[in-house]
Structure 1
């Protein structure tokens, strides 16, 4: 039972009260669909074949559809299907009721039977085919039955008469799905028109029109064409071709990307701190801000979308709560940037593995033909985390040191593991493999050693997984350097990954030109002015270069620093929110001398002009309170009215971002569900064996026999089973060791719980005296 709940955790939510509820829930269509989505291609094909085989369905009958060497694999697959509660029975196999509904009309890629297909065709549409087959025209259902018998009776002859193009069409439809498009399938061609290969098959009865533009291959025809009745499905997935690169090479390749992704995330958030990206009304980052940030970082927009989604998931930036919200770094970013490179990467990689978002969808068109924005709700996909772990799990199956030669082979393995989702998962999984490369999770297409350690924690929740990944990555990263080489051409070469402090200071005084094993920074007037604007002085910049450079400071650089520092700050700029203008200088003297106006921060910049950092409304209010009569003016000097409008709550855009986590049921909760189910079955068994069982004869009226049985149980300290109806009218069975009866309620506690419980007598439907209460506490 515990193994079943592990495979199908949705059966445990909410916890079933008994086995009957569990069994009923296991046959619900939605639960069966989720279970089928988890089956591999071979097990799913065995299940489909079991729904097609004519009764009685036995293991031998199902295995007969497969090659003889696959018979043991078919038996194992049927055992798995029984464990999943999708098939029941030993000698005769029976699929759960809703399995056929979930599989659909085309199990194992086969069409419907010829009898069913021809029975649905209109009488008039069957007349030309009946004449070609030498049959007299008749009405349905006779015409459909006659044509079915004629086609199937001469099937070998009809197939032998097919040429190459016609055989190609039949082979494609026989492999599945068995439907194809044919314009005007229900219409007759003119005698002068040469039939196309598909129409020739239609006129022979090998294809059946199911609507105006669609044809279907009958099941019997498909089975005759197939070399194997079940189709070409292997019981084991194909092997992934690999090359031996060695663990150190793979880790080094991933470490290079780690350094770059950490640098880009820090640069992105610094850029957003200087110039925040606005939030759209529907949530997310607009196309204009996306392109601006991509140009600033000199990366493609698709890579920028990945950085935004991952860093947002990691909590490094968030939207403000202003009237016009924008995205700004959080305090977590300040803590993150002070950590080591390995620690910073683990935060990003963990967020990517767990997030339920698809960055690859950014920039695509949705069903309304609108562009999907980064950080919007349209990027949310509940299955993203599961698919991401599944594709990483496939890479983890490749032995360490070996790298897959072909990405399509990895995707083929995924399609074998999840055939029902293969059509949609392939594109998304390919994008995830590209994201894993950019994030440094993979190197040369293979999973790195530190990523394997992190993946163990993501899949099993193993303790210390992040610490182990951090330690392994720190060992794979090259040693950081805290110095650089100044060149005569005003460049600084960093011979390795810089420390966080060096990278921050060097990025302030110079512009990064190239990255890799060694980074090159270009020093220029603009970069030096940036450092001076940040509060550094000319002597601070000179000292930084002197203390951290292996080579002497070039004379040209010293001249440039002195020249930029001399010019910096000679022209000053400030802010003023409002001003006072008056031709009477004595009036302005009185304003400056007036007590109580100090809070306005008034400052005289000309004989007739005073400025203030306070808003104009506050300036007017304070001046009028002091006895002056000021008036507000516009930019052209006209008097304007600044009376306030009626107060209103500013409109706030409702964020549609939903932070959803993949549903998972902890092992402890599954164990509790199993324990309750076993206790429920013991209780039901004990009630069945009990000879002392009384029921209410009139609903809501407690009978004397129930009261007497309750009193007897209290006197003998014996456990009872209550049939109880709750407030919502749901019936259930409760186990109780009663201790008192009075006030219209019976009080007591469960055998394995000392918490006092009480049940109103009018809601008790049955009372059973249990003979073996000790079994219920196991």
Structure 2
């Protein structure tokens, strides 16, 4: 329990939880920091202008207690975690109290202040100090003093109190005005050249007894309009289907021709434009799909290219809902906003940028769905961009991107592309993601239940039949199945994608299928199997005419020509068993052909309008099949560990399921050998450390060091060196040899001894 309390009270723990709290909770902690704890609840309520025992403030205080940030004492006062005090440097714009500001002043300086104020001078420095404090604690006396000041000084002081910010360095205001205020301790300069500070007592006095700290218990009310569930689902289904179709086309292009990476990492604008043009996919969608596909293991870096993995083949054969869910899971935990095209400095960003992912992106994404989930069920926002402004209330510490036209515009657009948000409201898919997705409010990863079911209800099954018309087009209303897309791609050219896909047949596209090894009968049977009804007569004629002309001219592999005047000798060479590996073939009794390369001959003849067919060295037809490269492993890529919020350590975005916290708490409370209840130490090592180590080490630190010694595992300590500095050492194979702690530092062969009584702290694991 001691160690748990230490960990919860640490600044790193506070920094992890604050980005998850809404604005009224943070406003309450700022008010508590300004008042100083412990403090009565009624004092906090008065400062915030709220009711003490019920209403929003009571709910906020429960939230703070649940997060071990603020808790009530037995006498009813509130105490705040000490690390939370450090978070607010000047809570509510209040700087240091007058006492600390005057603590360095000499007795003569205090006497001059009292003379200016017209107060009794006192005999000792302490008397003078107390006289000044007593005067400034009287708010009416401070206001009367300021009201009697010259006009410019009065404006300066009241403006400072209202702005709730520090006065700038010397020279930023008129020297005479500042001098008037500093002579009366209304502003205090600690040392020459430093900026002046207004004591907290003066600031509160000038703000007046009716001043209240900011407190916004309710989120801002945006402009709403009434929606039906069918309208939201229809819009979400259309967007999700379009994104799934774009993803299938883009990754199919990556399978055909893997993108080339920049030397500095990522996919450059030229390669991104090629992918978008080939897949008929807008650039923001291409960036989003590439990032999610890489994070989910469908793409992998291999040298300077980005080929698909074997997992892509499984993904491409799945239903549209399953494809969408895999990409959506990756987006939910993605450590960046991939549709940002420029960094904060305005420099262009490649797709799949190599910068370390940031946990702020994950937290902001979760905040977006939290804000959307708080909207009325039957209403949506008239302007979906207002969702970004709601994030500022639900997650005030979320960082906006300076390149966004409206707050979090890129993030809102990504949610719309996935169908998570539709028409300014949370879709059923978004609700399932928020409730059951990794890191959602349920706290555990959805195992394919609610999220997958919602996606299946939203997206219909893949279409496995096409409507082939007499105009030589094939139309697929919906997402085509992998088999249907493969058949149509082999014999036609896709012209349109999205909610409906269109292919067009031509002589060149049919010839491409024939070049791949098919014949007229095979092509006709494959198209008949996927067509709704009979094949149109114009398409049958096109296939028949193209197949009839196909192969009239044949081109064989050749490297040289062997000829002579003795046909019998040439026949002997052609039939010689040991020369069979050369693939020599007689064209006529007097000619053996092995001429120009096959590719050059085929290209030249086709450029003139012929339809030649390639031929192998043994005389068989050469089928021109395109090899589809695959990455060497199907394992998902190892993503860099994301950085934590700017105010704290790393935050994990791939959270494990949250355990039963109530059971853990019960176990901690029932555990024996708790120093808090006076039970004697049962561990001899811990007993020895308690006797030898300095008294300022906490019980948690002693136990941490005990566990490291008993398990012989590394431990990090802060140690007082001979010169008085505090140095951090990490010791491997620690050993207790009272009064010393022995261990080996990194890079050192021999052990070193550290006196137990000079250990300042034991750093947590």
Measure, in 2, the Cα distance between the counterparts of 1:57 and 1:439: 48
Partner of residue 85, structure 1: 68
Partner of residue 566, structure 1: 549
Distance 1:214 1:501, change over 3 A: farther
Measure, in 2, the Cα distance between the counterparts of 1:159 and 1:40: 43
Partner of residue 658, structure 1: 640
**In 2, are the aligned partners of 1:453 and 1:469 still within 8 Å (CA)?**
yes
Partner of residue 90, structure 2: 106
Residue-by-residue CA offset, 1:727-752 (whole Å, 9 max, x unaligned)? 844799xxxxxxxxxxxxxxxxxxxx
Distance 1:170 1:531, change over 3 A: farther
CA drift at 1:415: 1.9
Partner of residue 410, structure 1: 387
Measure, in 1, the Cα distance between the counterparts of 2:223 and 2:33: 35
Matched, 1:394 2:371: yes
**In 1, are the aligned partners of 2:243 and 2:285 still within 8 Å (CA)?**
no
Deviates more, 1:428-437 or 1:249-258: 428-437
Q: Could you state the TM-score of these two structures normalised by the residue count of structure 2?
A: 0.64
1:452 to 411, 423, 431: 431
**In structure 2, the residue corresponding to 1:413 is in which secondary structure?**
helix
Partner of residue 39, structure 1: 21
Partner of residue 66, structure 1: 48
**In 2, are the aligned partners of 1:456 and 1:462 still within 8 Å (CA)?**
no
Partner of residue 225, structure 2: 243
Aligned counterparts, 1:162-173, within 5 A: none
Distance 1:489 1:64, change over 3 A: same
Distance 1:214 1:41, change over 3 A: farther
Aligned counterparts, 1:325-724, within 5 A: 325-364=304-343, 371-378=348-355, 380-421=357-398, 423=400, 429-458=408-437, 459=440, 460=442, 466-477=448-459, 482-487=464-469, 489-515=471-497, 518-543=500-525, 548=531, 553=536, 555=538, 558-559=541-542, 562-563=545-546, 566=549, 570=553, 572=555, 657-658=639-640, 662=653, 664=655, 666-668=657-659, 670=661, 673-674=664-665, 677-682=668-673, 684=675, 688=679
**In 1, are the aligned partners of 2:25 and 2:60 still within 8 Å (CA)?**
yes
CA drift at 1:542: 4.7
Distance 1:247 1:531, change over 3 A: farther
Residue segments in structure 1 that go unaligned for 5+ positions in a row: 1-18, 122-131, 135-141, 190-194, 614-654, 701-721, 733-759, 766-778
Partner of residue 303, structure 1: 285
Partner of residue 776, structure 1: none
**In structure 1, the residue corresponding to 2:503 is in which secondary structure?**
strand
Distance 1:327 1:529, change over 3 A: farther
Residue-by-residue CA offset, 1:124-143 (whole Å, 9 max, x unaligned)? xxxxxxxx999xxxxxxx9x
Residue-by-residue CA offset, 1:379-403 (whole Å, 9 max, x unaligned)? 6123433432332233233354532
Distance 1:673 1:449, change over 3 A: closer
Distance 1:524 1:348, change over 3 A: same
Measure, in 1, the Cα distance between the counterparts of 2:685 and 2:593: 97
Measure, in 2, the Cα distance between the counterparts of 1:332 and 1:602: 43
CA drift at 1:119: 10
**In 2, are the aligned partners of 1:47 and 1:78 still within 8 Å (CA)?**
no
Residue-by-residue CA offset, 1:653-705 (whole Å, 9 max, x unaligned)? xx995266526464447567546533544555787379xx99799989xxxxx
Residue-by-residue CA offset, 1:256-281 (whole Å, 9 max, x unaligned)? 12221111111111111221112344
Measure, in 1, the Cα distance between the counterparts of 2:492 and 2:469: 13
**In 2, are the aligned partners of 1:306 and 1:359 still within 8 Å (CA)?**
yes
CA drift at 1:454: 4.1
CA drift at 1:437: 1.0
CA drift at 1:215: 9.0
**In 1, are the aligned partners of 2:246 and 2:281 still within 8 Å (CA)?**
no
CA drift at 1:349: 1.7
Deviates more, 1:57-66 or 1:461-470: 461-470
CA drift at 1:118: 10
Partner of residue 259, structure 2: 277
CA drift at 1:310: 1.1
**In 1, are the aligned partners of 2:142 and 2:206 still within 8 Å (CA)?**
no
2:299 to 313, 317, 322: 317
CA drift at 1:481: 5.0
Measure, in 2, the Cα distance between the counterparts of 1:159 and 1:540: 100
**In 2, are the aligned partners of 1:185 and 1:214 still within 8 Å (CA)?**
no
**In 2, are the aligned partners of 1:282 and 1:376 still within 8 Å (CA)?**
no
Q: Could you state the TM-score of these two structures normalised by the residue count of structure 1?
A: 0.63
1:178 to 157, 161, 165: 165
Residue segments in structure 2 that go unaligned for 5+ positions in a row: 106-115, 119-127, 599-636, 643-651, 690-701, 713-734, 741-765
CA drift at 1:245: 1.9
Residue-by-residue CA offset, 1:1-36 (whole Å, 9 max, x unaligned)? xxxxxxxxxxxxxxxxxx222222222221222233
Measure, in 2, the Cα distance between the counterparts of 1:212 and 1:339: 70
Distance 1:259 1:511, change over 3 A: farther
Structure with larger RCO (C-alpha < 8 A, sep 6+): 2
Partner of residue 713, structure 1: none
Partner of residue 109, structure 2: none
Measure, in 1, the Cα distance between the counterparts of 2:687 and 2:210: 65
CA drift at 1:243: 2.5
Measure, in 2, the Cα distance between the counterparts of 1:113 and 1:684: 37
Measure, in 1, the Cα distance between the counterparts of 2:518 and 2:50: 81
Distance 1:238 1:486, change over 3 A: same
Measure, in 1, the Cα distance between the counterparts of 2:386 and 2:198: 31
Residue-by-residue CA offset, 1:529-567 (whole Å, 9 max, x unaligned)? 444444443454455556615586263883487248735
**In structure 2, the residue corresponding to 1:377 is in which secondary structure?**
coil
Partner of residue 97, structure 1: 82
Distance 1:520 1:180, change over 3 A: farther
Distance 1:490 1:44, change over 3 A: same
Deviates more, 1:255-264 or 1:405-414: 405-414
Residue-by-residue CA offset, 1:147-184 (whole Å, 9 max, x unaligned)? x9898544346798899xx89x988x767662588996
Measure, in 2, the Cα distance between the counterparts of 1:205 and 1:724: 48
CA drift at 1:337: 1.8
**In 2, are the aligned partners of 1:388 and 1:429 still within 8 Å (CA)?**
no
Measure, in 2, the Cα distance between the counterparts of 1:180 and 1:570: 90
CA drift at 1:513: 3.6
Distance 1:78 1:560, change over 3 A: closer
Partner of residue 7, structure 2: 25
Deviates more, 1:567-576 or 1:79-88: 567-576
